[in-house]
Amino acid sequence: MKTLLTLAWRNLWRKKRRTFITVSSVMFAVVLAIVLMSMVNGMKQQMIDSIISNISGHLQIQDVLYHDEPTMDHAMEYGKEVQDAVAAHDEFIEYTVPRIEGFCLASKELSTRGVYLMGVLPEKEDRMNNLLSRLKEGRMFTAEDDFVVIARGVANQLNLSVGDTIVLLGQGFQGMTAAGTYQVGGILEFPLPEQNNTLVYMPLQEAQHFFAAPGRLNSLILMLSDVSMADHLAGSIQEELDDEWYTLKTWEELMPDKVAAFEARDAQVRVFAWVLYIVAGFGIFGTIITMMYERLREFGILLSIGLKRSQLAGICMLETLFISIIGVIAGVFVGFPIVYWFYANPIQLADDLAEVMIDFGLEPFMSFSIASDIFVYQVLTIFIIALVVGLYPVRKLFRLDMISAARK
């Protein structure tokens, strides 16, 4: 085997220019595929992180009817059963974020608009999505306060400032009327218009009183220390909850449309990447065909002096694999510094591109990923292509007439 490896390696460098051109075609295909997949995976992870930190968390415990009909009537009772089920898996749960939320009408004098009221514990909410960093005026409430903090868009549309009074009107638990007047204690500013134009925050206990739902939550968000444990943990906690009243959902179950969009985009990227791989594969195939016809006389002589066809086919297969492996290694060595640079320094977008990102619910910068599976995928794919291309010289050699080949 060592002899075959040595012969295959030396054969590559008999025509150095041709080998270099073939290796280069593989390398450039790998570099382009790495950059493309890194960019797409980075954007995907950016969107997932945005969903988890701003909306869903890793897991959510809800009333069994709430997901299909998210109304205040389906707010769950946050009692000992839920608390004990969460506490039993405390080593996997980094922290919890309780929320009670619902749509309301907000008004000041003759101005009225729809808002989304969220009752939260400020320290938990800040840990999840850095809420305090959004505070531009006034101060954030504590759990015992009774004032609200509003988003900048709501303040502008209702002409509100810190110290003004806002009137809130909505529907509470089991048909109760939710109404109250609250002082504006602070103004938050979000990069996303959907948040900036609708959000009003209130202390959790005060919001439960406003919605006439003491001791109830729309959801209890669970933030995990190890994301890979999400599915296992969801099943374990669900076993400890009464299925008739409670359900536990992962972020994928809460956002099925987002998951479907991710899968569709991943499929598109892989199709484009395979176009690059096919181009690289034809480059390798062209080189192998040229090498075969240039060396037919050599093959005929080697077979006539006693070299086995299987050994000669093995040498040709090894040459194909060597070209592919060198190209992949070169592509990874060139591609990794490029994507790592963009991973450490995300591209800040502006103008129309920034608006498009904001419309998709993302902050206006382009992230890249350096996940190991991106690079492993390139290696495996090129290896498979090399094996397929390597079948041609094997087939050719087993059908070769050594006499006629030796006379060429």
Q: Which tokens sit at 298?
A: 């050599």
59: helix, strand or coil: strand
Domain ranges of the chain: 2-52+258-406, 97-222
Mean pLDDT over residues 156-160, rounded?
92
Q: What is the pLDDT of residues 173-212, one digit of tens each?
A: 888 889 999 999 999 998 777 888 999 999 999 999 999 9
Q: Which tokens sit at 399?
A: 């059908």
**pTM exceeds cut of 0.85:** no
Q: Which helix (H) or strand (E) holds 277?
A: helix 256-294
CB under 8 A, 24+ apart: contacts of 62-68: 62/218, 62/219, 62/220, 62/246, 62/247, 62/248, 62/249, 63/245, 63/246, 63/247, 64/243, 64/244, 64/245, 64/246, 64/247, 66/218, 66/219, 66/247, 67/247, 67/249, 67/253, 67/254
Mean pLDDT of the chain: 84
Q: How far is CA 51 from CA 250, 359, 368, in A?
A: 12, 14, 17
Give 147's strand partners: none
Mean pLDDT over residues 124-151, rounded?
90
Q: Is the pLDDT of residue 405 over 60?
A: no
388: helix, strand or coil: helix
Q: Which tokens sit at 40?
A: 């797409």
Q: What is the pLDDT of residues 114-133, one digit of tens each?
A: 999 999 999 998 988 888 88
* HSE-up of residue 117 (Cα within 13 Å, Cβ side): 33
E strands in 28-91: 59-63, 76-77
Q: What is the pLDDT of residues 262-273, one digit of tens each?
A: 788 778 877 877
